[in-house]
Chain A
Amino acid sequence: MKPDLQIVSENKIDPQDPRTFGQAYEEFFPRVYNYISYRISETAVADDLTSITFHKGLDRFASFDPDRASFSTWLLTIARNTVNDHQRKMGRRRLSLQKWWRPQTISEIDPEKLMIAGEERNCLMAAIARLSSQERDILGLKFAAGKTNRSIAEVIGKSESHVGVIVHRAMRKLRAELEEKK
């Protein structure tokens, strides 16, 4: 398991000095991007939402209070809200947009072909893409962003036991799907 982000960089973050946000960017980018990619399959959209997340973060950086939440929790909350906003906006237009442009999303990759080619990684990504939105959200926070169940509970506003149940259920689904394709 990756260390929680708050352990990695917490002592470097000073909301009074925007340069520390710039320094934290390089370190936090992969996990924010990976979290968003758990929830959004299209690479180009994940790029845009990551950009929006960090720019919003910089906009609000001066108001970040380390006593209220860790920097990682604060930043991932922004990322999560950004993805939620995007999905709300796009939900109504999804069908008509696909008529014009059909990117090859994770969910469109044929798991069988990929498995034959020995690409277990892609098969796993395809399986993630078929999880529910809530399951992708929580697995993204846990594995891509490296958060603990307790931290995830803070971010999503649910109990730690609720998070544990969702993680367990999602892992069971993933395992079953991967087994089925073997």
Chain B
Amino acid sequence: MKNHKEISLVAQLDNLDFSSQSLSRDRIGLELNRRIFRTQSIGNKSDQPTRKGNMFRNPLPAFVLGFFLALAGFSVAHPDTRGALMKTFYRVGNGTVIISGGQKTDLPGNSSLKRGFEERIDTGEDFAMGTIYGGYGCGVPEGADPFMKQTPSLQIAAGLVNRTLMVPTYFHEALSANMHFQKAEILPNGMAALYFGAGPYETRLTQQLVDQNNTVTYSTSTLEVKADGSRVTTYLDPQLEELNAKGISVFWQAHDEGTRRRFGRWAEEKTDTVIGKFYWEDGGQSFTLDGRFLTKEEGLKIINSLEPYNHK
């Protein structure tokens, strides 16, 4: 028979739950659903689950969903949302804007933004995805596939876009050569997200063609659902710092409060790490560089090392 202490220890071990610390639960669920949906679409056209259901049935963390909705609002240029936003805009370049401050409320049962966006996702007119770095939404150009393409080959990724990709030539000394490039994701609108390093060293470089008529808008926000069902989106001030790299201005956002909170108590005790992001424009492309533990100094080294990718 087990003694009292043994039973107590068993009970403690049984109740030990790490999963609430996870940053990725919702993202993994979304990725799996997206893959399952694609399989179903190919295998059985008449029995496909809707992406609308998958996207909004899985609860996203507040900061991700808020970010996602904010991006969605601007990417699809929904008139209700534009009217409701009275914000400060930081212009990084001709085609890159960052929203700062302000608040938006969707009344219960009247979320026209969400409803409209869901419908456009369903019909393949729009695309949306959630990542640990935030959500992303965009329109799907006519004739393009309404889903993300992923490849572990930089050469294949380069062939999927109609421009020259920029890639870093500097990597932290701790990363061996086979840990440098991990994968590329190409979105329906041509945005490329390249992933370098792995685990805590993972950094993501995004790049997409922009001009005055084709802009990308970023924001960081929190989403609060009130007791009456209304949804309040609060846009956080990004605290940008202008720096210089490769002879151009780049903007450093020191850390993402939403992400930082999600790391929980342990993250608050970290004083030697930051969760940061760079924004800049160069050569008609809008870039971001982010990583869970990317430092300003490390990011600048990576940006300074960027070179056009030539696979020949």
A18 and B198: CB pair below 8 A? no
Report whether B16 and A124 are in contact in the complex, using a CB–CB cutoff of 8 Å: yes
Interface SS of A by simple majority: helix
Whether B32 lies near A55 (C-beta < 8 A) is: yes
Contact status A19-B14, CB under 8 Å: no
B16 touches A47 (CB 8 A): no
Report whether B199 and A45 are in contact in the complex, using a CB–CB cutoff of 8 Å. yes
**Looking at the complex, which one of A1, A22, A50, A101 makes contact with B200 (CB distance below 8 Å)?**
A101
A residues near B27, Cβ cutoff 8 Å: 51
Which residue of chain A has its CB nearest to the CB of B292?
A44
- Interfacial chain B residues near A42, Cβ < 8 Å: 199-200
Whether B17 pairs with A58 at a CB distance below 8 angstroms is no
Interface SS, B side: helix
Of chain A, the residue at the smallest CB distance from B57 is A26
Chain B residue nearest in CB terms to A94: B174
Binds B, one of A4-12, A64-72, A170-178: A170-178
A-B contact number at CB 8 A: 125
Beta-carbon contact of A143 and B19 below 8 Å: no
Q: Is B32's CB under 8 angstroms from A46's CB?
A: no
Residues of B with C-beta under 8 A to A19:
36, 40, 49
Number of interface residues of A (CB under 8 A): 46
The digit string for B13-50, where 1 denotes a CB below 8 A from any CB of A, is: 11011110111110111011101100110000000010
Q: CB distance A46 to B22 under 8 Å? A: yes
Cα distance A174–B6 in the bound complex, in angstroms? 10
Compute how far the CA of A48 lies from the CA of B29 in the bound complex, rounded to whole angstroms.
13
Contact A120–B23 (Cβ < 8 Å): no
From the candidates A45, A50, A51, A121, name the one contacting B16 in the complex (CB within 8 A). Answer: A121
User: How near does chain B come to A105, taking the closest CB pair, in angstroms?
Assistant: 9
Asked if A97 CB lies within 8 Å of chain B CBs, one says yes
**Contact B31–A1 (Cβ < 8 Å):** no
Given contacts A45-B199, A144-B16, contact A96 B22 (CB under 8 A): no
Interface residues of B in 97-146 (CB under 8 A from A): 132
Which of A21, A44, A178: most chain B CB closer than 10 A?
Answer: A44
A34 with B16: in contact, given A29-B25, A43-B266, A100-B172 (CB under 8 Å)?
Answer: yes
Structural contact, A22 and B17, CB atoms closer than 8 A: no
* Residue B201 is within 8 A (CB to CB) of chain A in the complex: yes
Is there an interface contact between B40 and A18, defined as CB atoms closer than 8 Å?
yes
| B29 and A43 form a contact (CB under 8 A) | no
Q: B39 — nearest CB in chain A belongs to which residue?
A: A18
Contacts of B228 in A (CB 8 A): none
Besides A21-B32, A96-B174, 14 more A-B contacts (Cβ < 8 Å) are A1-B14, A21-B36, A29-B25, A33-B19, A43-B263, A44-B199, A44-B293, A45-B200, A48-B198, A50-B22, A50-B28, A121-B16, A125-B16, A171-B6
Task: Name 22 A/B residue pairs within 8 A (Cβ), A-sorted.
Answer: A1-B14, A25-B28, A26-B29, A29-B25, A34-B19, A43-B18, A44-B200, A44-B292, A46-B18, A47-B24, A47-B132, A48-B199, A50-B28, A99-B174, A103-B270, A104-B269, A121-B12, A124-B16, A143-B10, A143-B13, A144-B16, A171-B6
Task: State the A residues within 8 Å of B (CB).
Answer: 1-2, 18-19, 21-22, 25-26, 29-30, 33-34, 37-38, 42-48, 50-51, 54-55, 58, 93, 96-97, 99-104, 120-121, 124-125, 139, 143-144, 171, 174-175, 178
